A and B are shown apart, each in its own frame.
Chain A
């Protein structure tokens, strides 16, 4: 039997959280679209990672085989994704990140389908190059646990992008990504965080396409007009990212267009243009 024909494909229209909320909550859905493979009892087995047709075929076959076995009754569902994502503890990760001059990526996870989805995204080859720019740490999420309190994490999955050079890196994360993400969505979020992180000295990487030779200003130093403009542009970009994360795409685009219009020739505006292109893809 063909794998696709042995699946019951159920279309769940969520209407931005206004419809089928019980199903969304049950499966921990944090973004759309999200595709989950479940056994006949509705227990999640795996999440769709890559959306390349060839990969989708493989994932459908694997999921159906995993659920059905060889015609035998469905085995107990395995929560783990197909590939294992390896990461350090937070403390070791921070040490390694400081040595490597890279931002630290901390993934808080649990057994939820949304965590499975993020896990699948992290193990997707599509993210390989992006993840190479970070040091990865994994932390199992438990409500009220020390790490969750320290990093102000209240749900799983949550991904934090941290600047390990900061004394209290938990107080000013470069990005906080909550809920389910596909590999493509995660790549976009992480690349955006990298842009911000570069501006804050989280890593040695230069902004794409920009060779900024201006030395960073030191604390207490009087800011030049250029530095004030830089700070303003970065703040507007950060605000735009926040708006985008909250689903206010129009406002996010407006903020970037404002930057581009106000500072068309400023070197920092390149970042705004690149981000605007990402939003419009």
Chain B
């Protein structure tokens, strides 16, 4: 339960931070295949934010 709350708190902090940037959005990818999402970022030349979590 505590871990879940911590994960949710981090997600909230990230989303709040993005919103604070005048409407900036975090575009989450990789729920199905994180490596494919990283490959997409590489092709696009975009920096990556990796969010390691464990809801399992």
CB-CB under 8 A for A4 and B53, given A23-B34, A40-B41, A67-B47: no
CB distance from B42 to the nearest CB of A (A): 5
Residues of B whose CB lies within 8 Å of any CB of A are 2-3, 6-7, 9-11, 13-14, 16-18, 20-31, 34-35, 37-38, 40-42, 44-56
Within the assembled complex, what's the spacing in Å between the Cα atoms of A109 and B27? 33
Query: Is A52's CB within 8 Å of the partner chain B?
Result: yes
CB distance from A160 to the nearest CB of B (A): 24
- Residue total for A at the interface (Cβ-Cβ under 8 A): 53
Q: In the complex, which residues of chain B have a beta carbon less than 8 angstroms from the beta carbon of A51?
A: 9-10, 13
Most buried by A among B27, B29, B30, B40: B30
Report whether A8 and B46 are in contact in the complex, using a CB–CB cutoff of 8 Å: yes
Report whether A11 and B42 are in contact in the complex, using a CB–CB cutoff of 8 Å: no
Report whether A8 and B51 are in contact in the complex, using a CB–CB cutoff of 8 Å: no
Query: Is A34's CB within 8 Å of the partner chain B?
Result: yes
Within the assembled complex, what's the spacing in Å between the Cα atoms of A58 and B13? 12
Query: Is A10's CB within 8 Å of the partner chain B?
Result: yes
Report whether A2 and B24 are in contact in the complex, using a CB–CB cutoff of 8 Å: yes
CB-CB under 8 A for A42 and B48, given A4-B26, A32-B7: yes
Within the assembled complex, what's the spacing in Å between the Cα atoms of A54 and B18? 10
Interface residues of A in 42-66 (CB under 8 A from B): 42, 45, 48, 51-54, 56-57, 60, 63-64
Report whether B24 and A4 are in contact in the complex, using a CB–CB cutoff of 8 Å: yes
Chain A residue with Cβ nearest B29? A10
CB-CB under 8 A for A38 and B47, given A4-B24, A51-B9, A56-B14: yes
